[in-house]
Amino acid sequence: MFSKFGKWMSGLATVVCLLIILTPAALAVGPDGTSPANAMAPSGEWKALSLGGEDWYVFRTPGTTSEPSKVTIEVQVAPVNGATFSVWNAEGLNKKANAGRNELVQPLGAGSAEPLDKLGFVQKLLWSGSMATKEPFYVSVKQTGAKAGGYVIKISGDKLVFPAMAAEAPVAANKALPVAAVTSQKDGSGPADAFTATGEWKPLGVNEGHWYVFNSPGADSKGKTPQATVELLAMPPGSASFCIWTPEGLRIWKTGAKDETTLPVGRSSALALGKGDVAQKSMWSGQFNIGGPYYVCVRQTGAQPSTYKLDVTVK
């Protein structure tokens, strides 16, 4: 059913890191982004951002007054309004550190929110500018709102250098944990914090979305592929729907692609209501030839909050 997506799956191994947790030994290697002094280089992968959390990134440009370097910073955030970012130089950071109680120090720039796409559960923030010095520049990604979430950052421009890369060594201690082992640390706010479906009822406010992850083993040695079935019950009827994502689809989507013919790979179909039904059932079923994690986003629809439960089976 999804054979046409097979050629996209070559990037699967690089995206599996959405489910990777670093061991303490691995965290000690290289900058950890906890401050400007420990600023990181962008990894191109989704990162979790806890309540009140802040991550720092650093880059340099070859820019001069006569030939400034153009820089574009893009941050995609889930949930919507879950984070902001600002751009700083060392002078601005020093002024901020020494500012008085009522003194406000402005950054060089800040991310501006782009209009939401049709799915509406990831927000894109953009900033562009010209850098005319070779000093390091810093980007702060800061959590906002009532819920923890996740983000992916991309910094692009003319001959950029990321000093943090030189300090990093290969991390051999990375360990991929089973999804079930990390479920308790997830809040479902984005692909990096996806729940595992347990069939429990959950509330879903207006305009909210929850992410889930499940594993499919792919085709066996005889070419037999298990059937994945996703079932959603939502109260009141019509108050929630879902869509299915492959890891490769998420990777392409976070680069800015909006091809909704292939992103996502499936959507829920609501079944007809029976007489007296207070909950509506929606279904999707399909097969994945490639083994690995796959994602479900449950989205509130209509004018009323939803209470729902999600079940996923692979057999």
DSSP output for 76-114: EEESTTSEEEEEEEHHHHHHHHT--TT-----SEE-EEP
The domains of the chain are located at 30-167, 175-314
**Digit-coded pLDDT (tens) for 194-252:** 999 988 888 999 989 999 999 999 888 888 999 999 999 999 999 999 999 988 888 87
pLDDT at residue 245, as a whole number: 92
Kindly indicate whether the domain formed by 175-314 is annotated with CATH number 3.30.1280.10. no
Which of the two residues, 256 and 139, has the higher pLDDT score?
139
- Strands of the chain (E only): list them: 20-21, 47-49, 54-59, 69-78, 83-89, 109-110, 112-113, 123-131, 137-143, 149-157, 175-176, 201-204, 209-216, 227-235, 240-245, 266-267, 269-270, 280-287, 292-300, 306-314
Instruction: State both tokens at 289.
Output: 């030839």
86, 35, 15: which is closest to 293 by C-alpha? Answer: 15
Q: Helix, strand, or coil here: 69?
A: strand
Kindly indicate whether the domain formed by 30-167 is annotated with CATH number 2.60.120.380. yes
For residue 306, list its beta bridge partners: 204
Residue with tokens 């029976």: 274
**Among 54-58, 113-117, 120-124, 143-147, which range has the highest average pLDDT?**
54-58
What is this structure's pTM?
A: 0.54
**Digit-coded pLDDT (tens) for 48-93:** 888 899 999 999 998 888 889 999 999 988 888 999 999 999 999 9
